[in-house]
Amino acid sequence: MRSATATGSAVARAGRPWVLFLLLLAAGMPPCPSVRADDEPARADGQYLAREWLTDDGLPHNAVNAVVRDSKGFLWLGTMGGLARFDGSNFVEFPLPADMTADGFNIRALAVDDDDSLLMITANNQVVRLRDGEFNLHPVNATLPRGSLLDLGVGANRSLWIGLASPAAIVRWHNGVTTVFGANVGVKRRSGRFMFVRGKNGATWMAGGDFLAWHDEDGLHRHTGRAGRSLFIAPSRSGGLWIAAREHLARLENGNWRVVLSGQGWPAAQIGIQDMFEDTTGALWIATRRDGVFRLVDGTLETVLVPVRRERVLSIMDDIEGNIWLGMNGGGLVRLKPKHHVLLNQSAGLPQEISSSVCEDDTGALWCANQAGGLVRVKDGRVDIAATVPVERNFYANNVCVDRPAGRVWVGTISGLYSTPVNGPWVLRREACEGCNVQTLFLAGNGDLWLSWNSARLGVLRDGVLREFTADDGFPGSRVASIGERAGGEIWVGLENGALFRLAGGKLVEEPIPPAARFARLHALLTDAENRLWIGTSNGLLLWRGARSRLFTRADGLPDDIINQIVIDDNSRLWASSRRGIFHLPLAQLTAAADAPGRALTPVLLGRDDDLDGVAGFLGAQPMAWKGRDGRVWMVTYRGVAGLDPIGPVEKRAPLPVHIDRATVDGVAMKLAPGEELRTGAQPRQLELEFAALNFSTPDRTRMRRMLEGFDVGWVDAGRERFCVYPHLPPGRYVFRVEASDGENRWADGQASLAIVVPPAWWQTWWTRAGFLLVFAALVALLARAGSNHLLKRKLKRLQQENALERERARIARDLHDDLGGRMTRIGFVADRLHRKVEDPEQKEQLGRLAAQSRYLIEDLEGIIWTVNPQNDSWQRLAAYISRYAHSHLRDTGILCTVDGASDIPDQPISPDVRHHLLAIAKEALNNMLKHSQASRASLSLAAEGGIFRMRLHDDGRGFDSAAAERDDGNGLVNMRARMAEVGGRIDIMSRPGEGTDIVVDVPMQYRPPPVRQAAGKPHPPRCPSP
């Protein structure tokens, strides 16, 4: 087997397998060309992704002189344009005061002093301290010698070390004492920079030029022996010291000097070292002025490619997550992040850029259907291309799958089905479907090979015999998109047109699709460990459960509705490819949301931080996604076959650190001390809180939520916001909480909190409120007393008026009885006596009518007197009067009248207007009965029950059409209804021709005092009932 590098000509030749086949046969070699992808190994180990931040992203200046990390994990950047702090997402600038920027904004050097302060050398040639957001000049400035301050470090016991140039010197400041080390101790030339390292046992190491020394409690000690020229030093995590010189790279540990690299293996003279440090894995990183970054791992010096526009590195540092950060001389801030994916394409040695199918065999070799490039095998960085026998000019591989038990690789092409042994020789042989375009391959658990071809045919290959499914077998003759298998060997087939079939008894039976996905195209079928069936469709991700199926879409939180490929990894994550790229989310999150409509999903979309922004998945063949033996997920994309490193379980990932950064009350910054509460002034107009989450690996996925306990009813989604404002907080105690998530909805254990106390103003204190309450109660009592007295006076006046009215009514009744009644009686007596004496018939008749009319008038007068008399203002007296009136009115009329219930009416007060209207209705009804009914019997029933007085008058007369009477009656029935409406009562008249008449009156018995009507100081006389 011939091996070669992946040059352009080799790739071009690999794209023509038939030419290779002839050449290899002529050379006597096996017909399987191979290339070696040395520049792009199959695994991502040792590779890094670079991302840069520039001024457009918020960086103060693209020249970054220094990068340091504080105790909280923030990165601090000293740039030509000033100082900034970085949390992975946002730059926060800390502008120097105007009196410290007379010579510019350049920050030459940075050093972390302690947990709360940062030291820097400014363009003014001064050492400045930043503590709690305030800049102050360091006391060392008053004792510094003349010279340019260029380097800065903090040594043992928080001693301050400064490197100077012109002349070269090293300054130590500790507890107010300044010591200068110059040429007298061997500090002659700076050469590059001075570096300071805090060592063991209270020692501080320093180096610069050819000077290497340490300082302890006994003073300064220069290292004996020749250390080299242009020295740089860095601490080792084991407690030793790295020393880089032009001549060699050495390690000093426990007093033992060991040269690690030298001679041709150490190119320091050519690269120009600028900075170096050792990471958490023990690898030494070296930043250079001319050749980017180098990395020493296990004694081997590697070049780390930095694909940025400018390669001069001024500073290098790692973050709390292990990423490497480079301060560039004009190239901004660059992050080197371990690469967790690989792309198999032409750059990796494959003949063609795109493969349409991928799978893996038991040896860990990856097989790719590389379209016009044929069948490609990739293992350990070696790319082998299978040949065909006989040689075919237009060989085009659509898909590939491995029969592991049989040790065979199946390949579907545009010209038929082929196979080759897993272990070689990798020569393809045609097996079936000659001349057919094979589009789908699926190997069942029992070894059956399912395939579809020519966009409308489906079959299964068993023991070398191909059985085709037709309409008689339930297959409708449409293009097959995907084939899957559930427990028990149950085969499922998804068609592009959206139909889903299950194999039962050798026949394909169509299964229902939920309405939301009824017209969707089915792209991929997958069964998980719980035998659930997942389907990628053009309308979303479908969890098929029969009638309980659930379709997840963008409305549920998915990045896209078009799902091309799906696969599940070893940690129960579902990976999917879509138009927007590749994303993943836990299966448990999906299954929980399936039974809880409205619960949002939080998938992780691979993007710019993964160098996979917009990598869309391929569509049209099967299999297109695969889980490897090592846990890696493989997917075919338009940039090649993407291999994605496995991700650990969600519960094992560290939460994002969160910090509450700054608090201002009414524009005034407040000091935040750990563990202490924040006390505002009384009645704060505005409380503003700033917070940050540290996420250096995947900052674009950072989501935050916040809650002010005592104010917010629940968590508030802050998204990418890093501040919030609370206006006009009432007095009380609050707790502000903030949490961050990296996209997998893991909020717990990463919470920051701040207790906030808003004191009350003097008028909001309890004693002030108690005083206000007492005063208010006293005022209420006074007002209540005054109001009560006023009401009592009004009531007394009303009673006096009512008594005066009743006395007036009684006087009128007596006057009517004594005066008018007596005169009417005399008129009747005289008329009756004359009637008996005269003989003239005409006079006799007129005198008789006069006597009769006088009697009627006397009766009416008695009724008026009874009505006016206040002693009769009771329901019982009204009932008795109506009874007497009915007997009297119907006497000698031929109508036999019976009355019952009058004696059962209670002796309760009745208002005059109610009594007046009831008596008028009774008289009107009796008159109508006498005039029109032609009845022989009548009954009057009176009752009081439930606070309702009921009067029922019935006769057995000729009756009438009550509906017609309502329309045609003049004022009689209308007047009766109007009277009842005035007193809140009701009257019902029921009658039919020939069936008599029923009149029912219901009136509430609740007493309502009569209104007092007064004019000119004299009461009006009461109204009299109508005759």
Q: How confident is the model at residue 863 (pLDDT cuts 50, 70, 90)?
A: low
Of 39-48, 396-405, 795-804, 928-937, where does the model show the most confidence?
A: 396-405
CB-CB contact of 416 with 430 (8 Å): yes
pLDDT score for 941: 93
Q: Are residues 999 and 906 in the same domain?
A: yes
Provide the mean pLDDT of the chain. 85
In this predicted model, what pLDDT tens digit does every residue of 237-248 receive, in sequence order? 888 999 999 999
Residue 726 within any structural domain of the chain: yes
Q: How confident is the model at residue 1009 (pLDDT cuts 50, 70, 90)?
A: low
CB-CB contact of 813 with 865 (8 Å): yes
**Domain boundary at 647, 668, 698, which?**
647
Q: Quote the tokens at residue 913.
A: 């207007």
Q: Are residues 803 and 678 in the same domain?
A: no
Residue 303 within any structural domain of the chain: no
**The dihedral of CA 305, 309, 312, 318: what is its sign?**
negative
pLDDT at 189 over 80: no
Cα(375)–Cα(997) distance, rounded to whole angstroms? 107
Q: Are residues 571 and 607 in the same domain?
A: yes
In this predicted model, what pLDDT tens digit does every residue of 8-45 receive, in sequence order? 333 333 334 434 333 333 333 344 454 444 333 223 33
CB-CB contact of 248 with 212 (8 Å): no
Q: How confident is the model at residue 182 (pLDDT cuts 50, 70, 90)?
A: very high
Of the candidates 712, 566, 729, which has an alpha carbon nearest to the alpha carbon of residue 634? 566
Give CA separation, 225 vs 193, 213, 240, 450, 805, in Å: 21, 11, 18, 75, 132
pLDDT at 1016 over 80: no
Q: How confident is the model at residue 854 (pLDDT cuts 50, 70, 90)?
A: confident
pLDDT score for 17: 40
Q: Are residues 683 and 704 in the same domain?
A: yes
Strand partners, 524: 536
Helix ranges, 214-337 (H)? 268-271
Q: Quote the tokens at residue 403.
A: 């029969």
Other CB atoms within 10 Å distance of the CB of residue 24: 18
Of the candidates 116, 688, 94, 115, which has an alpha carbon nearest to the alpha carbon of residue 678? 688
Q: Quote the tokens at residue 938.
A: 């009548």
Q: Which helix (H) or strand (E) is 739 found in, with range?
A: strand 732-741
Residue 889 within any structural domain of the chain: yes
CB-CB contact of 541 with 576 (8 Å): yes
Amino acid at 73: G
Q: Are residues 863 and 903 in the same domain?
A: no
- Provide, rounded to the nearest whole percent, the portion of the chain with pLDDT above 70: 88
Instruction: Output the CA torsion 28→33→38→39 (10° steps).
Output: 140
- Average pLDDT on 497-501 reads 94
* Unique residue bearing structure tokens 């395939």: 451
**The dihedral of CA 354, 359, 365, 367: what is its sign?**
negative
Q: Are residues 862 and 955 in the same domain?
A: no
Strand partners, 644: 341, 633
Nearest-10 crossing angle of helices 841-868, 821-837: 160
Q: How confident is the model at residue 746 (pLDDT cuts 50, 70, 90)?
A: low
Q: How confident is the model at residue 1013 (pLDDT cuts 50, 70, 90)?
A: very low
Question: Which residues lie closer than 8 Å to 415 by C-beta, 6 or more apart?
Answer: 392, 394, 395, 396, 434, 435, 436, 437
By CB atoms closer than 10 A (0-12, 13-18, 19+), residue 989 is buried
pLDDT at 1021 over 60: no
pTM passes above 0.85: no
Cα(653)–Cα(164) distance, rounded to whole angstroms? 45
Cα(939)–Cα(954) distance, rounded to whole angstroms? 5
Split into its structural domains, the chain has a count of 4
pLDDT score for 190: 67
Other CB atoms within 10 Å distance of the CB of residue 488: 7
Q: Quote the tokens at residue 315.
A: 């500073």
Q: Are residues 629 and 671 in the same domain?
A: no
Cα(151)–Cα(111) distance, rounded to whole angstroms? 9
pLDDT at 412 over 70: yes
Q: Are residues 856 and 772 in the same domain?
A: yes
Amino acid at 417: L
**Domain boundary at 760, 795, 820, which?**
760
Residue 539 within any structural domain of the chain: no
Q: Are residues 889 and 1001 in the same domain?
A: yes
SS3 label, residue 183: helix
Q: Are residues 561 and 627 in the same domain?
A: yes
In this predicted model, what pLDDT tens digit does every residue of 443-490 receive, in sequence order? 999 999 999 999 999 999 998 899 999 999 999 999 999 999 999 899
pLDDT at 912 over 50: yes
> DSSP string spanning 554-593?
GGGT-S-S-EEEEEE-TTSEEEEEETTEEEEEEHHHHHHH
Cα(357)–Cα(68) distance, rounded to whole angstroms? 46
In this predicted model, what pLDDT tens digit does every residue of 514-524 receive, in sequence order? 988 888 999 99
Q: Quote the tokens at residue 678.
A: 């924040």
Residue 714 within any structural domain of the chain: yes
Nearest-10 crossing angle of helices 875-890, 912-928: 20
Among 44-58, 240-254, 610-624, 988-1002, whose mean pLDDT is lowest? Answer: 44-58
Whichever domain contains 962, its CATH number is 3.30.565.10
Of the candidates 67, 161, 69, which has an alpha carbon nearest to the alpha carbon of residue 115? 69
Q: How confident is the model at residue 114 (pLDDT cuts 50, 70, 90)?
A: confident
By CB atoms closer than 10 A (0-12, 13-18, 19+), residue 396 is middle
Q: Are residues 830 and 720 in the same domain?
A: no
Strand partners, 625: 635
Amino acid at 649: P
**The dihedral of CA 462, 468, 471, 476: what is its sign?**
positive
Amino acid at 610: D
Summarize the chain as % helix, strand, coil (round to 5).
25, 40, 40
- Average pLDDT on 675-683 reads 90
Q: Are residues 983 and 886 in the same domain?
A: yes
Cα(786)–Cα(776) distance, rounded to whole angstroms? 15
Order of strands across the sheet that contains 64-69: 64-69, 75-79, 82-86, 91-94
Q: Quote the tokens at residue 201.
A: 């046992």
Question: Which residues lie closer than 8 Å to 53 by C-beta, 6 or more apart?
Answer: 59, 86, 91, 332, 333, 334, 335
**Domain boundary at 872, 888, 912, which?**
872
Residue 516 within any structural domain of the chain: no
pLDDT at 652 over 90: no
- Average pLDDT on 424-440 reads 87
The DSSP output letter for 395 is: -
Q: What are phi and psi of 808, to 5 degrees?
A: -65, -40
Residue 996 within any structural domain of the chain: yes
pLDDT at 1010 over 60: no
> DSSP string spanning 967-1015?
HH--SHHHHHHHHHHHTT-EEEEEE-TTS-EEEEEEEE----PPP--EE
In this predicted model, what pLDDT tens digit does every residue of 216-231 receive, in sequence order? 999 999 998 888 889 9
Whichever domain contains 734, its CATH number is 2.60.40.10
Q: Quote the tokens at residue 270.
A: 């050519």
Q: Which residue has the higher pLDDT, 7 or 682?
A: 682
Long-range contacts of 449-454 (CB under 8 A, 24+ apart): 449/401, 449/403, 449/410, 450/483, 450/491, 451/412, 451/417, 452/479, 452/480, 452/483, 453/412
Q: How confident is the model at residue 171 (pLDDT cuts 50, 70, 90)?
A: very high
Among 96-110, 611-625, 721-735, whose mean pLDDT is lowest? Answer: 611-625
Q: How confident is the model at residue 3 (pLDDT cuts 50, 70, 90)?
A: very low
Residue 357 within any structural domain of the chain: no
CB-CB contact of 196 with 155 (8 Å): yes
| Domain range for 615 | 552-647
Cα(661)–Cα(263) distance, rounded to whole angstroms? 50
Whether omega for the bond prior to residue 514 falls within 30 degrees of 0, making it cis, is no
